[in-house]
Structure 1
Amino acid sequence: MAVALRQVMNMRHSAQAGKVLRGGAWSFAGYGAQTALRFISRIVLAKLLISAAPLGTVAVVTTILMGLEMISDLGINVNIVQHRDGADARFLGTAFSVQVLRSGALYLLASAMAFPIAWIYHDPQLAPLLLFGAAAVLFRGFVNPGLAVLTREVALRRPTIVAIISEAAGFIVTVAWALKQPSAWALVAGSVATAAAFAIASQFAAARARFSWDSTVARGIVQFGGWIILSTGTYFLSSRGEVLMLKGSVPDVEFGCFAFATMLVTTPVSAVIQLGSQVLLPMLAGWIREDKATALRQFRRVKWAFTGLGVCVAWGAILIGPPFVALLHLNKSYAGLGWMVQFLGFRAAFDIFAIPAGSALLASGASLYSAFANSVRLVVLIAGLWLMVHVLGLGLPGAMWVLMVVPFVAYSALMPGLRRHMPGTMGLEAATLLTFIAGGAAAAGLALALGGMWTTVRG
């Protein structure tokens, strides 16, 4: 930890430190506001619901819609950030056209899948919720790609304001709907309102991209997006696919509690993930374009910073998670929420730790390695959940151990790519990994000593 803090302090001497710090400040401020709004709206709904089961239904709807987007993600924003001609009007216009065509196709696909999915899960409520929620996918296709140019320049003030405005719109709709009729519809309606507000506000926050078509640019976007599709698709299935796999395999109330625990953990952690995509990725891409030596030096500092952040998140989830859950005073259907937050929080902490490695490969244009790592992660997840839940019959507690293991496997699969594209970093990765593991083990040991660690699982 001392090394991590020293590396963070050394960032003051970087020529671009001011730009990074300003971008990071806006990113954290924006996601702080969004996190607060999401937390409040979800907690209001959780307290109004008689049972946690509807939250599981929302998780399935959200996961399916997010999955459709991720398994068809061409990485358009990433391409704008890292491509040398990413800010060119012709590039942006073609990217916008591709983006809208993709969102329209996804909307039609989601609508067509609604009733078959409701039949598969024996849940009639899923069909109308999916039909309604699919509108969010369509709206996101009309987001102005000019926002990605601002991200490329690490000028995050206006993108952050747009995000806050859209989240506030979704918050108002969710809370108003929940107060009138607490149900899964409240969260789905909030998601649709957020997407619509973001698409509209984005048109006024950056120079508008005009629809155009350049076959060479379009072909390049699709070629770049080929590995991105595999990478994001497999990442989605391996990081959120457990929702689809566990639905129906565990009791609905327990599954709803698991979905709520996932939301509690991912909502604040998404701020750090956004920091990686909005600040770290464009900065690394710029450093790599300019000078490999500079990129390597800055990568070392960033790696220690994210290691320290990951350890802090692990400590927070393991030690503070259960007391925080107790303060919510939720009904008995949320009885297992505390230990679920501990498990999922530790997994999220490791995902934070691994952000620099994945970002460095994307910034180098080497999306192949992320695709491979996520494919490995998916295979381990499917095999592990099948073994723990269906063969050994260990239920959700057994599944949680699988969810903790798979990020380590995926991270290990990134190492060949990092060795090739960021040579000289293997010693750094080993040192930071040992630091993270030691930090997490210390938190778990302290929690065990205090008598509050995973008592439900042991029982």
Structure 2
Amino acid sequence: MSSLSKQAIKGTIWTLFGYGGSQILRFGGNLILTRLLVPELFGLMALVNTFITGLNLFSDIGIRPSIIRSERGDDPLFLNTAWTIQVFRGFGLWIVCLLITAPIASFYNDPKLLWITPIVGFRTIISGFESTSLATLNRNLNLKKLTIYDFIVQGLSLGVMIIWAWISPTIWALIAGVLISSLFGLIRSHRLNTGMRNRLAWDQSALKELISFGRWIFVSTVMTFFASQSDRLMLGKLLTLEMLGVYTVAFTLADLPKALMQAVMSKVVFPVISKQLDLPRSQLRENILDKRKLLLLLISLPLALLVCFGDQLILSLYDQRYEQAAWMLPILTLGMWPFILSISIDKALFAIGKPLYIALGNVFKLLYMVILLPLSFSIIGILGAILVVAFNDIAFYIVVNYGLWREGLSGLKQDLWATIILLGIIVTLGGIRYSLGGGLSIDSIL
């Protein structure tokens, strides 16, 4: 077994371990917080975080992916130039955050957004000073340190939120958790930097390389924001904040399998592919599909379990204020499958410098949402909206796979048998539940 394969296996194990621990923390914290805080607060923070995420994506030139894939990824001058751009970007993001605060508060008719948005947005300045050591560790597949780093930061954030919410159950509990964890993450990132310390620097050749690759990342991430956050942006206008909070709980749980796949692809597979770009395209495709096969099999079972029994999870763990999330969760989970198929291979397009296909995929996904979400909500109500949101990745999947086919990296046959296996598991588990008198997981809406 090659050294790179050993690194990939070790990195995958650490990623899965970190993801599992992260989700236990996230889920446990969510259960406690939903008992301490009212749903409206989660809806409010979901809106604010959507806009902060949008600002980050609107200015993303792919600094971390550039460091991971560049031949100069260990060059101090290259790293410091990237860090300098990152610092100035953080300040710029916060200024824009101040400018958009009033229009956001006016559009959603909630004056609390006038002060919540700029306070939460201050984390963009904090994260701008994070060390490039995080990208370097990822580049070298040193995921043990990264996993421990993420776990500690997340644990601190949840701890602050829970203690604050117990003492004072207000929106400040969620705000404090975000800001304190960002500050702690900044300090920890520089402690991980055992070699070169980041400082302000400007190298024209490094800048040229960063912008050359980053311009496509920018286009892709802008479209990613509109496509992936359009549900919250539009539902925030169509639904009450309370119902948006309920939807957020369901979506967070449905997102678990997808987030696992994203973690493995970003932290392990993307760096590995970046180190194999000199291989013939057919060999690169074979290597990717060989690793992907096992990932798709592993992700199928938890996804099928959420589809068949997700309603019971909601009804058992949450109080009746979140009862409607019970029927939302199975539908949203099933809709994640086309996106899981896409993200389990689309990092290959980033690695070969072709993220344009991903940007186009998100354009079509956005068009799908803008046209069908308001229309379905007006005709069928919230069920129609959830159905549209659940299956909004089909357009993205079609465009991404066209790009993979054009670049000689298609995995359509693998997608087909993986989908057959998933549906087989769902039919089997659902049939067992129904035969035992448990009905269907979406009976409450039917």
Asked if Structure 1 and Structure 2 have the same fold, meaning a TM-score greater than 0.5 normalized by the shorter chain, the answer is yes
For the residue of structure 1 that corresponds to 2:331, the secondary structure is helix
1:355 is the counterpart of 2:343 = yes
Distance 1:168 1:423, change over 3 A: closer
1:427 alignment partner AA: K
The aligned counterpart of 1:253 is 242
Does the 8 Å contact 2:281/2:409 carry over to 1?
Answer: no
Contact 2:72 2:78 in 1 (8 A): yes
Deviation string, structure 1 residues 414-438 (Cα, Å, up to 9, x no partner): 1222113234644334444444455
CA distance in 1, matches of 2:35, 2:207: 48
Aligned partners of 1:40 and 1:354: how far apart in 2? Answer: 29
- In structure 1, the partner of 2:227 is 238
Q: Does 1:397 align with 2:390?
A: no
Say whether the 8 Å CA contact 2:154–2:181 is kept in structure 1. Answer: yes
Q: Distance in 1 between matches of 2:39 and 2:276?
A: 47
- Taking the aligned partners of 1:443 and 1:185, their CA distance within structure 2 comes to 42
Q: CA deviation at 1:188?
A: 2.4
User: Is the contact between residue 302 and residue 356 of structure 1 (CA under 8 Å) also seen in structure 2?
Assistant: no
**Does the alignment pair 1:338 with 2:326?**
yes
Give the distance between the partners of 1:239 and 1:24, measured in 2 at CA: 26
Say which is worse superposed, 343-352 or 273-282, in terms of deviation: 343-352
Kindly provide the CA deviation profile for residues 271-292 of structure 1, in whole angstroms up to 9, marking residues without a partner as x: 3311110001111121223454
CA drift of 1:329 comes to: 4.0
* 1:367-389 alpha-carbon deviations (Å, 9 max, x no partner): 11111111111111111102111
Which range moves more in the overlay, 14-23 or 136-145? 14-23
Structure 2 equivalent of residue 418 of structure 1: 404
Instruction: Quickly say closer, same or farther: Cα 1:354–1:312, change in 2 above 3 A.
Output: farther
Residues 73 and 232 in structure 1, CA contact (< 8 A), matched pair in contact too: yes
Q: Is 2:254–2:330's contact at 8 Å kept on the other side of the alignment?
A: no
1:124 aligns with 2:111: yes
Q: Which runs of 5+ in 2 are unaligned?
A: none
Tell me, in whole angstroms, the C-alpha distance in 2 between the residues paired with 1:29 and 1:149: 20
| Separation of aligned partners in 2, 1:268 and 1:234 | 22
The answer to whether structure 1 residue 289 and structure 2 residue 281 are counterparts is no
- Partner Cα distance (1:141, 1:285) in 2: 25
The Cα shift of 1:310 comes to 3.6
Alignment TM-score, normalising by the size of structure 1 = 0.90
Match of 1:9 in 2: none
Counterpart residue type for residue 34 of structure 2: A
Tell me, in whole angstroms, the C-alpha distance in 2 between the residues paired with 1:426 and 1:47.
44
Aligned residues: 442
The one-letter amino acid paired with 1:336 is Q
Q: 1:159 to 1:183 in 2, by over 3 A?
A: same
- Partner residue, 1:54: 41
Residues in 2 aligned to 1:422 and 1:188: alpha-carbon distance in whole angstroms:
46
Shift of 1:218: 1.3
1:269 positional shift: 4.2
Name the CA distance, whole Å, in 1 between partners of 2:153 and 2:290.
Answer: 34
Post-superposition shift, 1:265?
Answer: 3.1
1:261-314 CA distances to partner (integer Å, 9 max, x unpaired)? 222333564233111100011111212234544422221112212321342232
Alignment of structure 1 residues 270-309 onto 2, 5 Å: 270-309=259-298
- Answer yes or no: is the 8 Å Cα contact 2:273–2:348 preserved in 1: yes
- For 1:199, which of 155, 168, 186 is the aligned residue? 186
Preserved CA contact (<8 Å) 1:121 1:248: yes
Q: What's the CA shift string for 1:139-195, capped at 9, x where partnerless?
A: 111111122111111111111121122112212211111111123322222122222
Greater shift in the superposed pair: 147-156 or 262-271? 262-271
Distance 1:153 1:194 in 2: 25
Letter in 1 for 2:297: G
Superposed, 1:444-459 pairs within 5 Å as 450-458=438-446
| 2:413 corresponds to | 427
Q: Give me the whole-angstrom Cα distance separating, in 2, the residues matched to 1:41 and 1:329.
A: 12
Quick check: 201-210 or 102-111, which moved more?
Answer: 201-210
Q: Does the 8 A contact of 2:401 with 2:410 survive in 1?
A: no
Structure 1 residues 94 and 125, CA gap change in structure 2 (3 angstroms): same
- The one-letter code matched in structure 2 to 1:104 is F
**Displacement, 1:60?**
0.3
Deviation of the 1:32 alpha carbon = 2.3
CA shift, 1:219, in A, is: 2.6
**Following the alignment from structure 2 to structure 1, what is the Cα–Cα distance between the partners of residues 237 and 224?**
22
The aligned counterpart of 2:92 is 105
Aligned to 1:157: 144
Asked if the contact 1:45–1:182 (Cα under 8 Å) also holds between the matched residues in 2, the reply is: no
1-side partners of 2:149 and 2:248: how far apart?
Answer: 27
Moved more, 343-352 or 65-74: 343-352
Matches of 2:116 and 2:429, distance apart in 1: 40
**Aligned residue in 1 for 2:30:** 42
Quick one: distance in 2 between partners of 1:229 and 1:58?
Answer: 25
Residue deviations 1:48-86 (CA, integer Å, cap 9, x gap)? 23x422211111011111111012211111111112222
Cα separation, partners in 2 of 1:267 and 1:105, compared to 1, 3 Å: farther
Task: Give the 3 Å change call, closer, same or farther, for CA 31–426 of structure 1 in structure 2.
Answer: closer
Q: Which runs of 5+ in 1 are unaligned?
A: 1-12
CA contact (8 A) 1:104 1:138 kept: yes
Aligned to 2:9: 21
Quick one: which amino acid aligns to residue 315 of structure 1?
A
Deviation at 1:202, TM superposition (A): 0.5
Give 2:216's match in structure 1, choosing from 224, 227, 242: 227
Deviations 1:209-244 (A, max 9, x none): 332111232132123222212212212221222111
* d(CA) in 2 for partners of 1:47, 1:19: 42
**Distance apart, 1:326 and its partner CA:** 2.1
Q: C-alpha distance in 1, partners of 2:399/2:298?
A: 22
User: Residues 102-128 of structure 1: CA distance to partner in whole angstroms, max 9, x if unpaired?
Assistant: 111001111222222111101111221
